[in-house]
Amino acid sequence: MAAPRAFVFDAYGTLFDVHSVVEAARTVTADPQALSLLWRQKQLEYTWLRSLMGRYEDFWLVTSQALRFALRRLGLAADEAQIDALMGAYLTLSPFPEVPGALRALHGRPLAILSNGSPRMLEGAVRSSGLAGIFDHVLSVDAVGVYKPSPRVYELAPRALGLAPGEIVFVSSNGWDVAGAAAFGFTTCWCNRTNAPAEELGLTPDYEVDRLDAIPEKVGV
């Protein structure tokens, strides 16, 4: 396989730990992990449903709607100040511990983020995690008004980088996202942090790692 000319990363669950909202969730529940898991599940469901219905709203609103559903579903009471605090946690998500070193190891090739996140959400997460200035592009689905795994989203990366999809390694921890990227034509790397089974979508990642800092050796850069 030819040496990659650029790396494009998913944000949520790949660079940033979406479940770092657990600490904020302790203010409304004794089981913050359950709230975090349901919140994330509904967040993704709503992106897919809105894409299929042709009713796009940005990721901030989708995240808020998913949170409100999760609170009701779990029978949790939260006032608007508590909801605002939970939402604010998405602007300061923690990066996974190996992320800064992994990105430094890939320095010398263009690096980009391609995410469902709104520009404001991505800017906040990148800045608060100390990753400002590392990425050549931070690309949001807002530009096309539809969510992953639409090919219109994946097209944003080769257009911004001026490269063919196969020259780009697309990295995500989400198996469905890797499948969508593979269907589009990217070289793909699945960061399988939880040793999950592969998705049954007839598409296999080119590379698989359990941490982002394993990418350079795995890919051979």
Q: How far apart are CA 27 and CA 153, in angstroms?
A: 36
Other Cβ atoms closer than 10 A to 90 = 25
Alpha-carbon torsion 114, 116, 119, 123, what sign?
Answer: negative
| Angle, vertex CA 129, rays to CA 124 and CA 131, nearest 5 | 95
Residue tagged 């396989």 (tokens): 1
Other Cβ atoms closer than 10 A to 210 = 13
Query: DSSP letters along 177-202, please?
Result: HHHHHHHHT-EEEEE-TT-PPPPSSS
Which of 10, 142, 206, 213 is catalytic? The answer is 10
Helix axes 32-53, 59-73, angle to 10 degrees: 130
The yes-or-no answer on residue 79 being catalytic is no
Q: Which positions are catalytic?
A: 10
